[in-house]
Amino acid sequence: AVITVPAYFDDAQRQATKDAAQLAGLDVLRLINEPTAAAIAYGLDQGVEGLYAVYDLGGGTFDISLLRLARGVFEVVATGGDSALGGDDYDQRLASALLQRAGLPALESLTPRERRRVQTAARHAKEALSGVDEVSVSFEVDGVVHDLDVDRTEFDVATSELTATTVRLLKRVLRDAKVSAEEVEGVVMVGGSTRMPAVRQAIATLFGKPPLVNLNPDEVVALGAAIQANALAGNATSGDLLLLDVTPLSLGLETMGGLVERVIERNSTIPTAKAQDFTTFKDGQTALAVHVVQGERELVSECRSLARFELRGIPPMVAGAARIRVTFQVGADGLLSVSAKETGSGVEASIVVKPSYGLTDDQVAGMLRDGFATAESDMVARSLREAQVDAERMILATVSALAADGDLLSSEERAEVDALVARVRATARDAGEPRPIEAAVEALAEGTEGFAAARMNRGIRDALAGRNVNEL
């Protein structure tokens, strides 16, 4: 089976979907995003190529994907949307407008039964207005039946803010991909709510061309999944269909100071594998804790923790000498595996990210919104943390050097270095911005230049002791 999932599903939600399918006895060939499945249906049926947007407005969610179609290759360039926006919101806006016109209390003030009656009448009106200009509605509130006529203009006015929101989110996806509306060849419409004329007109206005509505918007995702399953089962006549999806959120590691080092950026094409080298922070460090996180923020505390594991058996070395290569691999189904290997000794550890519970759609969309909204303040916080980490590293190196070769300093020189170390420690603890910390670290570096030179001379003398010229 090929199973479609919302574009914003994260690794945990995809794994949970796959597990549920396997428990039901299904052989899962692949998980694919719903907008991507729609593109498969249009790509094969219509034989189109180029840059396409998939506008998916369902009953409760809105997803937008930008895809590049070329010679049988489907590459998702960028994704976005709102997991709390859909056709139900249009029903509610029209229901509120009807109640206001009838001089009745707001929707929230009605009993649950009355609320359902009004919303059902609004939904039927919405669906009818996709094909006619005017419709009659009837609903009962407080024992009184109200009959009203609703035209398409009234509906469009009541719901214009919702349609404008989808257009704004669509423009954001275009900005993410650095693509103009003129470069998009067409827009595939998915979901029953895309039958609304105002929605289709808004898309036509943005892109300067009518959207693609050749296929049934309620069935296009299922059709694409069926075509993909047929290809993966080896029954496709073309035999060369290739699907490239993207990661919905960035994936990375925690580094010193609680900072996030992104390894795979959001909207990276999958399947993919990326490696990055890290090192130890302290002398003699023989283990490294690997904390895998997901999100768009600069601080680990603001991102989602995916998994933790530990690499043990690192040979003792001075800080910064060990080289640990961490590799992230994301499969075609969106699942993540992480491995860490110390390149000198070959010791290795790995983990497959398979959390028991995933995020809700609202949380995933919220993580993206927070990332955009707090980008500037996050970078300020990151700069401060980085300065604090550099300060801690300088303190550790200096204290280690004093323990090994402190006898090279006079009592006065030692007191000066100790004072500089204390100043760096206090500034890193109390300063609210990086500049004072950087200045204190620089002062410590300058104040220990003579000590560093003396240590180097001692090291050279010790290395040459007892050796003659012919041995050098």
Q: What is the tens place of the pLDDT at every residue in 82-108? A: 888 999 999 999 999 999 999 999 999
Q: Judge whether residue 45 has pLDDT over 70.
A: no
Q: Which value, in Å, is the radius of gyration of the alpha carbons in the chain?
A: 30
pLDDT of residue 164: 97
What percent of the chain shows pLDDT beyond 70? 89
Please say whether the dihedral angle defined by the alpha carbons of residues 34, 39, 40 and 46, taken in this order, is positive or negative: positive
Strand partners, 70: 73
Q: Which residue has the higher pLDDT, 49 or 141?
A: 141
Q: What is the C-alpha to C-alpha distance for residues 204 and 40, in angstroms, rounded to an integer?
A: 22
Q: Of 194, 239, 159, 228, which is closest to residue 53 (Cα–Cα)?
A: 194
pLDDT of residue 72: 62
Structure tokens at 355: 């959390």
Q: Judge whether residue 313 has pLDDT over 80.
A: yes
Q: What is the per-residue pLDDT across 133-167, written as a single tens digit (0 to 9) for each?
A: 999 999 999 899 999 999 999 999 999 999 999 99
Q: What is the per-residue pLDDT across 320-343, written as a single tens digit (0 to 9) for each?
A: 888 899 999 887 667 788 889 998
- Axis crossing angle, helix 375-405 with helix 434-447, rounded to the nearest 10: 20
Task: Give the pLDDT band (50/70/90) at residue 356.
Answer: very low
Task: Give the pLDDT band (50/70/90) at residue 381.
Answer: confident
Structure tokens at 1: 């089976």
Q: Of 368, 10, 32, which is closest to residue 172 (Cα–Cα)?
A: 368
CB-based contact 245:334 (threshold 8 Å): yes
SS (H, E, C) the chain: CEEEECCCCCHHHHHHHHHHHHHCCCCCCEEEEHHHHHHHHHHHHHCCCEEEEEEEECCCCEEEEEEEEECCEEEEEEEEEECCCCHHHHHHHHHHHHHHHCCCCCHHHCCHHHHHHHHHHHHHHHHHHCCCCEEEEEEEECCEEEEEEEEHHHHHHHHHHHHHHHHHHHHHHHHHCCCCHHHCCEEEEECHHHHCHHHHHHHHHHHCCCCECCCCCCCHHHHHHHHHHHHHCCCCCCCCCEEEEECCCCEEEEECCCEEEEEECCCCEECEEEEEEECCCCCCCCEEEEEEEECCCCEHHHCEEEEEEEEECCCCCCCCCCCEEEEEEECCCCCEEEEEEECCCCCEEEEECCCCCCCCHHHHHHHHHHHHHCHHHHHHHHHHHHHHHHHHHHHHHHHHHHHHHHHHCCHHHHHHHHHHHHHHHHHHHHCCCHHHHHHHHHHHHHHCHHHHHHHHHHHHHHHHCCCCHHHC
pLDDT of residue 239: 44
CB-based contact 188:33 (threshold 8 Å): no
- Axis crossing angle, helix 87-101 with helix 152-176, rounded to the nearest 10: 150
Q: Of 266, 250, 247, 338, which is closest to residue 302 (Cα–Cα)?
A: 250
pLDDT of residue 240: 47
pLDDT of residue 231: 74
How confident is the model over 414-433, as a mean pLDDT? 89
Computed over every residue of the chain, the mean pLDDT equals 85
Q: Judge whether residue 201 has pLDDT over 50.
A: yes
pLDDT of residue 124: 95
The distance of Cα 368 from the centroid of its chain, to the nearest Å, equals 7
How confident is the model over 200-222, as a mean pLDDT? 93
The distance of Cα 380 from the centroid of its chain, to the nearest Å, equals 21
Q: Of 5, 8, 3, which is closest to residue 22 (Cα–Cα)?
A: 3
